[in-house]
Amino acid sequence: MAQIKHLFLAGAALLLLCATQTPSAEARRLFEVNAFCRTSSHPQLCTKMVNGAKNWHDASANAMKAALTVAKRLQSMAPQLNPAVANLLPVSRESIISTCVEDFDTIVSDLEESIKALDENDKGTLLSHLSAAYNSDCEDALNEFGADFPLSKIAGYLAREVDNCLAVVQQI
């Protein structure tokens, strides 16, 4: 009889645990992956980026606009690189800063061109510019001279966002 009582209590505890661990409908909705993000390496971030879009064009546009916002933020943060290279020779310092500023400007331009190509239904140009926006020489330039990359967190976030853009636009 004692075994049945313990078995019953264990079953009741398991049922209670499961009931408290099952997410609410609202929580499940927050973590549902948008259909255009199912092939993404970062599906939750991608779902946030496409912002509820129901068609490929809107999902692509929303994702690229989200990435462009982060790219512009990164671009505006370029002056934060100066302390990281302050101890280098002036020619090296200028070269690195120039490389990074050019990279950040190019990423913004590539994302803007991608959005334009989407609106013109030019998938080749769209993919070309998105792929180009994914690459950056800034961190490599800093690493080459032994300098830390103080913007690595936002640059990594931007790389994940561009990766999501590529996943979404390739859903056709």
What is the per-residue pLDDT for 31? Answer: 64
Mean pLDDT, the chain, whole residue set = 86
Q: Where are the domains of the chain?
A: 1-30, 32-169
The packing angle between helices 123-133 and 90-119, to 10°, is 150
Whole-model pTM: value is 0.81
Q: What is the pLDDT of residue 12?
A: 42
Mean pLDDT across the stretch 4-17?
43
pLDDT mean over 5-24: 44
pLDDT at 18 over 80: no
Question: What CATH superfamily classification does 32-169 receive?
Answer: Invertase/pectin methylesterase inhibitor family protein (1.20.140.40)
Mean pLDDT of 142-149: 91
Phi, psi values for residue 24, rounded to 5°: -70, 165
